[in-house]
Amino acid sequence: MKMQGLLNDVVWDSSISARLLIVDDDAFLRTTLRQQLASEGFNEVVEASTLLEVFDKLPDANPDLILLDICLPDGNGVEICRKLRERGFTKPIVMLTEQNSEDDIVAGLEAGANDYIIKPMRMGELLARVRSQLWQQKASDTARFSISGLSFVPANKLLKLADDSKKVILTEKEATILKYLYRAHPAGVTKEELLTEVWGFQTGLSTHTVETHIYRLRQKIRRICKKPVILTTQTGYSLASVP
């Protein structure tokens, strides 16, 4: 029960800081969704009604999740989903489909959608699915994280500038520390917490081990980025910023 409560807290935090893109040609539905999402803490919501708008707004919107209607005036949502994946968009895509459209649902999932919800939708169900996808994305080792202008993929322990011009390889422990700090953001973590999460219950270790690894991690970060990324707090550490 305690673990479930912790999971709910994490899901809520990740939702609040998320950017969403709603793609639907129904202006009333978009407005309604935007207002209800705002009331739940999602204040960065961008709207698009056509295929052209999606790719026009995508770079500036930089969404953490896309709600994508299956039918648009100038394109099919399944094809849009496929194009987004082909162009390297890795964040969650939730398809909005009509009732009795099983073929569309299957096609959307095969094109790279993460989930679907059937219209007319219940807001509680939509929020639950959105939060679930955001949490899974944030927790995934294969996800690409943005940290203070840097790009980080925990799965291959690669930290680099967003333009790929400079990069460093992290050790397993360094990557785990950075990933844990990312998941905790905007809150900080204590040295004791990092020690437990990264090294487990190994005997003979002290917080000096954490300090040493943080120092080495900062040294690597400075090779590619001059601004501070890992901040020292009263009890431990936190990240300077996560978009």
Residues 84, 151 share a domain? no
Beta bridge partners of 118: 97
Rg (CA), the chain: 20
CA distance 88 to 65: 14
Phi, psi of 230, rounded to the nearest 5 degrees: -105, 120
CA distance 151 to 148: 8
84: containing domain: 2-139
* pLDDT string in tens for the chain (243-residue length): 223 333 333 334 433 468 999 999 999 999 999 999 999 889 899 999 999 999 999 989 989 999 999 989 888 999 999 999 888 888 899 999 887 677 888 888 889 898 999 888 889 999 998 998 888 777 776 677 888 889 888 878 889 988 888 899 999 899 999 989 988 888 999 999 999 888 886 777 899 999 999 999 999 999 999 889 999 999 999 999 876
Got the DSSP string for 216-227?
HHHHHHHHH--S
Could you tell me if 169 and 157 are in contact, meaning their C-beta atoms sit under 8 angstroms apart? yes
Residues 164, 113 share a domain? no
> Which residue, 139, 156, 186, sits at the end of a domain?
139
Q: Is the dihedral of CA 193, 197, 201, 202 positive or negative?
A: negative
Residues 229, 174 share a domain? yes
Quote the pTM value. 0.58
Residues 233, 114 share a domain? no
Residues 97, 7 share a domain? yes
Total structural domains within the chain: 2
Q: Which helix (H) or strand (E) holds 79?
A: helix 77-86
Residues 184, 120 share a domain? no
Residues 134, 209 share a domain? no
